[in-house]
Structure 1
């Protein structure tokens, strides 16, 4: 025996592996006429394994030496052996790159890949760089999909306008407004610091149907005056602008005031609202300027009276005949309704009751989960299991995916020794990247179907827990989809009681059909080998506690000593005991500490050992002990319903335990509480804006009363297609508020003008409805066709596109089919009430 301790080795390395700058020859201040100046070096960092082998630990009295090579194995190795990484069953290493705040994901990805490509030439043969978890392809495809949707929307809107106007010149006028307004909107987004992303492009698609409305109203009215009153294009344009300028301004005010409050909401929902708000408001304001400046100029220049000798083609003739019959039937039905006001007010009340009932039936959520082509994997073997055992489970999981979904798996990256729960030998995780969406067209090839099936299949693995899940739609709000919360011990029951409450909660969740994969996102309590130092004995034996603790650290873990130079690079030097001396509890007896008399004292002289159960990681939430729990709603269950179920279960636990949502779940709770305020604020601002614009309470009241009918359409569509009440539905509802108000304004504002000319209320309402029927129908169908590509979209980002497209389509149908009947009804009703009051 050499009678040496690990501290002797560390001290020798610290003294003999160091840079020493001794000074200078001829350094200042120097003697006069000094002729030499040079740096003096005495010692530098060691550079090779042989240098370390020659490190002298001790010189014996007989002159013999004990070197590091006599007591240690010196080798180049890994800085840590705690983590094992595999890619497609092959050894690998992983590097994570996080996007800086405010950085552009696509641009950063290009720069990173360019730099990696540049450095790849220095990699050894057989080593390849891959990107198993890259979020940018989904972003690129999502934006590409929405851009395609935008182009489709423009084409469909053009075809609708051509169908109604049946004049290529007239159709070109609103079409020209599209690029002008879009260009201006992009400039506004740039000024506000926004990028072109999925949300802003969604808003652009919605804006397509809105921004042509003003130009359509201008063109349609000018054409009507040219045909009916035989005016020249210039005269018709002048008269038309006098008639409809108020309506155009009113529509813009309504649509803008609906969306402006969205820009001031906080949180992640506020960030989403803001994208829609700024984009749509900018498009609407620019649209009305174009409609009042550019469109009239184009009308006066391009429009011409129709050639009466030229017969329309059969299609146009058939369409006009069909449309005129429809308009006549609409006039008759409107007249019928206005003669039976009380009856239809009751029907209106029933519709509102239906709206309230259906709205309350909608499940709640934050935003739709997306098929991003990526799945996450979580592996946990029993507490105390070794990395070798965890690796066996990971290999079994790898085999499952390659055998079951080999033709769909593009990447599989597996980690043993680390997971989102923490670092431990019994923990593991992985990323599974699926092939492009064009190769996964079947329903059972979606990320959702694969996740559900793999969860069930992998549950059969013995002595291990395996969970699969997909990332949240907003990566910054957590690591997984579904729900996440902290189970908090608010009164200090203690760790054991908290673990019991957790187990009780997980047991209840496992038997609830509304929940799947509910699990603690942490490391289970594990067996721990506790070494208890008797401080009094140690002091009596002349031992230093610092020496005892340092010896324990080196014996059972590892200790960073200093650095060395390896092929021109600075690398770390670690000191660790050999594995034969740290594999079993009995190995503690092999370790000694030198006392102040120079004697070697065994650990068994002053320490006792015992096995205990304890947590490798303790969590706190706002200072209280807590546990992180994750899970997902069952198929067909919304996240809101799942969260309600968990709140009920936590309420059944003993007093003192509470639930604190975070990430996506917290945002969902916050959004739900903000939504009603948003609706009320938007409705109030619309009402006050119209009251100020028309200097009347009757007009805004008539408009506000029909708005719920549009909302009914959106809510009914969401209910039919099993869409939850989420952020996108809320955006759709606000859009519907503006659209319903727009259609009502077109009728009521025109009826108001006729009323001022002395026409009776009912007659004014009928005339206004009939004359505004064509532009309302044309703008509504144009808008609906503009969002059809969103509603039927597939591929990357389809879930969000479908959610907003279907809801807005339903809202527009309600805002058209119901509002065109109830707007004149409420105008007449309120006009008569105000007239009686004035009398």
Structure 2
């Protein structure tokens, strides 16, 4: 192949240009993302039972739906929660690779059989099925800077005119609005109702009857009589529109003949349909819209589409209302990708400088450099065919590939230069001879290096998706590198290199003097190196002791290095959870959040841009005593000092727990590395009541775990991701007494539900939009237990009977939020590692605590990791198998390459020398810089695989040459020493090129630095140790193996091989 392109250089150029053109065209169409679609598909079922308690919702809604979800294809786990505000949410998590659209259809089909079993009020509210995760892509704040619009006006406009257009944007899975639209609110006065003998049921019936849309028909509708000339639509009663119209609804006539209308017994107003949330932006009343990403959608594309839709909506905003991005994950994605691109460019420059240092010829340096754009662009064209995006993982793979992809071209150029100098041939002849010498070696080395990364592509699950991105990208780059080295590089050598003139006087320029000094120094180093190798190969015991020590250090460092799934990143947002004591009012929660907002806007004003808060909502559950805030930090470029980093801001924010006495806790948190798998960084587990011991025992077990976790120095912020049990007032109806009084139990339930919980009756028209009508007791008639006595029901004799005649009450405790996991009651516990501790060590600490429960008399409780923690645990279990499989594939490739079962061992024995460096530098960085992101995570595992390949490549360069010299008749020791000396320069050159290529990763800062450090430290440490130790031990291992498995000359078989 090479011979053809040496004489057809234009053909080679055309192929290279076509590859680059394909890459350029591909780049313009490839999607950009932080990660590929890693998170398993999630389908969420949402239902509402107005006025129901958490226990009622769980028993009548959640469990009914759960029981129908059996038999779904690829279902991984199911989690659910039932809240005291009547809402139920069931999240079904599927295996990686399941089509989310098919999963959603299957869930909807299963739901059909459950719908008929649900309470009527739930069916009327509707049951929704969405394919979105739990975390938010963006949160938009709508507010009035000049205060000209009220909070209700803003929230109504957002509900009526913003939420629906945004929900139709491609990629949006769900839109959640913090605050309701306008609703017709009918506030009942129990005293007036009792005096006029009107019940809530009377009012509901009257509204349904008199606020209805009636379809009458037509005048002259077909079939008509002969000669009919008129056709007109007939209209009658329609939906009411104003509070005055509702106040005029007729209820009854009194005994004296007077008419009783709704306005006589109730106050009617245009209010909000939801009073659960109070959202603010920088302390100003605001409406909030949270956007959740649809499963599998691209975050950047979706965010851009949302912005385009907002541009169309903004001209129609009311005077005085503006929008602001209060929370956005996409700037971090964009900056992290830009950071990796910058790293890639830096790597190319550094590799160029290293090549120039060793090749010492501008032409010779430019030739392998020209391979870079061809291979990089060609790789993008190929991975696009696999459906890959431009993301952090593929770009990391590109950075790793930079040092590897120039290796083949360097070998070609260096060998051509050597032949030209030693044999005084012209460039064409020298290139022809050189390619005959090294083409086989190039193919062999590339095959082995590619084989190292191939096993990663066949792993399943979430971890497999990450591995596959690295594997396919790296293998593609190396195969294209080989193709370029066999086609394009020889053509460039034949046309660009100049013939060596031995009589040409030496230049005395700056570069020439430096290169002469460098060459002399390197030659001296080579002589000393050869002497060191000679001593090492003859000192088997000394070499064995050092190698044994290396193996011991590897084992110790693997044990000491903490594990995690992905490094946490500074994503420019601090999410803060707020929890007040049980039964705290929304007003108290709002005051606490205001104090917290003022703290961040004043004390952290140099680092904080804005604060968006919601009282009444949190990821721990919906309730008046819960709150949530998104603190948006300033750009990373403005936060370069240590005190401006997100970890320092969070640590200072923890002081709010000492300042604000009314809060149970205020918990500032980092966002998770992968938003689709959780809402905050740290660990996440479900404590399960596997034996059905009940809520009290489960709570006791949870509290013991929380108490023990608070004492453990490895843990921080361990908390229940839910709400504490709260006092609840239980109404006890004496059925016998009610029956004796002639009172219907259905009437009692209906009255309590409408008076205390509120009831959705039907709809009305407000400015052309359909909105809801609610009936509920006036606030003053439902504040205290004794207020129940203000309410009356009508018996079967038409008499008004007070509740005190048949009902009593008592205070009990109950949970405002009940959880289930895989069909059993559970409680979610979350937490973060202490500073300097990895998530893996924190998970081990939690497992140790839970294992003590039986010793405390609490048997029958189990736990399961979920979300990001589940992925971390599964990825850790796969890593040893991945390493072993990669080594096995390398061994088999080497055996085929050398036609020997023994020689591959001399290559594989070198691998630990690279791994020890990767472990040592990563562990040292973690300890010295207190950087918990330097752990045994997915990126570090990829770095280890890269180090395996690099170590094997260095060994192959010496082993193959030593084997050739030995086959030519040289003594084992002489052949080994000769090979080591001859291959030292290319090993140092290619290793430095690779090392400097990854150096920008280790030195990176800003967005995405955590993941770059994980890869950079591991690879850089492996490069250093595999070179410094490997160049001495590779000859030793070759001598060991060849001494154990005696070499047998094959001259006698030469003719057979030719035949």
TM bin (shorter chain): over 0.9
Shift of 1:36: 2.7
Deviations 1:663-711 (A, max 9, x none): 1211111111110011011111111122123321133221111111111
Matches within 5 A, 1:133-144: 133-144=327-338
Deviates further, 189-198 or 728-737: 189-198
Tell me if structure 2 keeps the 8 A contact 1:247–1:745.
no
Deviates further, 828-837 or 668-677: 828-837
2:752 matches 1:541: no
Matches within 5 A, 1:805-816: 805-816=1016-1027
Q: What is aligned with 2:61?
A: none
Aligned with 1:43: secondary structure?
coil
Matches within 5 A, 1:632-671: 632-653=832-853, 654-671=858-875
Q: What is aligned with 1:385?
A: 584
Q: What is aligned with 2:907?
A: 703
How many Å separate the matches in 2 of 1:311 and 1:570?
Answer: 91
* Matching residue within 428, 436, 447 for 2:646: 447
Deviates further, 311-320 or 273-282: 311-320
Deviates further, 531-540 or 767-776: 531-540
After superposition, the CA RMSD in angstroms is 1.7
2:920 matches 1:716: yes
Closer, same or farther in 2 for the Cα pair 1:165/1:838, shift >3 Å? Answer: closer
Tell me if structure 1 keeps the 8 A contact 2:424–2:500.
no
Aligned with 1:286: secondary structure?
helix
How many Å separate the matches in 2 of 1:501 and 1:459?
Answer: 27
Deviates further, 801-810 or 487-496: 487-496
Q: What is aligned with 2:946?
A: 735
Tell me if structure 2 keeps the 8 A contact 1:517–1:631.
yes
2:771 matches 1:568: no
Aligned with 1:419: secondary structure?
coil
Q: What is aligned with 2:554?
A: 355
2:298 matches 1:98: no
How many Å separate the matches in 2 of 1:408 and 1:357?
Answer: 41
2:414 matches 1:213: no
Shift of 1:63: 4.6
Q: What is aligned with 2:228?
A: 34
Shift of 1:758: 2.1
Shift of 1:837: 8.5
Q: What is aligned with 1:791?
A: 1002
Q: What is aligned with 1:833?
A: 1044
Q: What is aligned with 1:438?
A: 637
Deviations 1:788-809 (A, max 9, x none): 1111001111111111111100
Tell me if structure 2 keeps the 8 A contact 1:227–1:306.
yes
Question: What runs of 5+ residues in structure 1 fail to find an aligned partner?
Answer: none
Shift of 1:66: 1.6
Deviations 1:408-427 (A, max 9, x none): 11110111111111111111
Shift of 1:29: 2.8
Aligned with 1:97: secondary structure?
strand
Q: What is aligned with 1:491?
A: 691
Matches within 5 A, 1:500-579: 500-579=700-779
Question: What runs of 5+ residues in structure 2 fail to find an aligned partner?
Answer: 1-194, 927-933, 1051-1059
Aligned residues: 839
Closer, same or farther in 2 for the Cα pair 1:420/1:172, shift >3 Å? Answer: same
Shift of 1:836: 6.4
Aligned with 1:96: secondary structure?
strand
How many Å separate the matches in 2 of 1:335 and 1:178?
Answer: 38
Shift of 1:718: 1.0
2:583 matches 1:583: no
Deviates further, 452-461 or 556-565: 452-461
Deviations 1:265-317 (A, max 9, x none): 23332222121111111111111111111111111121123344242421111
Deviates further, 39-48 or 2-11: 39-48
Tell me if structure 2 keeps the 8 A contact 1:699–1:749.
no
Deviations 1:773-820 (A, max 9, x none): 111111110111111111100111111111111110001112211222
How many Å separate the matches in 1 of 2:538 and 2:844?
Answer: 48
Deviates further, 758-767 or 13-22: 758-767
Shift of 1:118: 2.2
Q: What is aligned with 1:264?
A: 458
How many Å separate the matches in 1 of 2:228 and 2:256?
Answer: 46
Shift of 1:592: 1.2
2:517 matches 1:318: yes
How many Å separate the matches in 1 of 2:284 and 2:783?
Answer: 28
Tell me if structure 2 keeps the 8 A contact 1:698–1:827.
no
Q: What is aligned with 2:533?
A: 334
Tell me if structure 2 keeps the 8 A contact 1:713–1:814.
yes
2:875 matches 1:676: no
Q: What is aligned with 2:798?
A: 598
Tell me if structure 1 keeps the 8 A contact 2:247–2:268.
yes
How many Å separate the matches in 2 of 1:59 and 1:261?
Answer: 84
Q: What is aligned with 1:292?
A: 486
Tell me if structure 1 keeps the 8 A contact 2:248–2:261.
yes
